[in-house]
Amino acid sequence: MFDAAEGEAGVGFHGAVDEHAAGFEPGGDLLGRRGVAGPNTCPEAVMALIRELYRPELAFLPIGDHFTMGPHEAAKAVSLLQVNKVVPMHFGTFPALTGTPEALSEKLQGQAAVWTLEPGKTVEWSADESGLLDRR
């Protein structure tokens, strides 16, 4: 399960996470499937290697655009990882963080689904193609 921290656009992990430290700390096997937590500041070429070796399906990427990647850089990270789902993080907590999930969706042009978590809401990453399931 993934918990959005109360009052903040953040993510907490529950479950096993393997670390394959390769320039950043990609999340390993989350709930039996492949997930990756990207670097904060910019896409890295090693993301293509992560794609080749681990074939992640879901990426957690920052989009705030100040101190972190913005939507433009996060879209490049998605392209390198070739994931089909992305959870934006590190955005909207104070005015300097101008990146938005909508801007990321626009940059992706349908390349991946953007799953925006809601503060205080727990969701489950399921095999169901409809995406995240509400588990209040």
What pLDDT score does 55 carry?
Answer: 86
- Going along the chain from its start, the domains and CATH numbers come out as 2-122 (3.60.15.10)
**Predicted confidence (pLDDT) at residue 107 exceeds the cutoff of 50:** yes
What pLDDT score does 33 carry?
Answer: 59
Give, as one character, the DSSP assignment of residue 32.
T
Residues 103 and 91: beta-carbon distance below 8 Å: no
> Tens of pLDDT along 41-98?
899 888 898 888 888 888 999 999 999 999 999 999 999 999 999 999 999 999 999 9
Reduced to 3 states (helix: H, G, I; strand: E, B; else coil), residue 123 is strand
Give the mean pLDDT of 100-120. 96
Q: Tokens at residue 95, please?
A: 């005015």
What pLDDT score does 25 carry?
Answer: 44
Half-sphere exposure of 13 (CA within 13 A, CB side): 15
- The dihedrals phi and psi of 48, each to the nearest 5 degrees, come to -65, -35
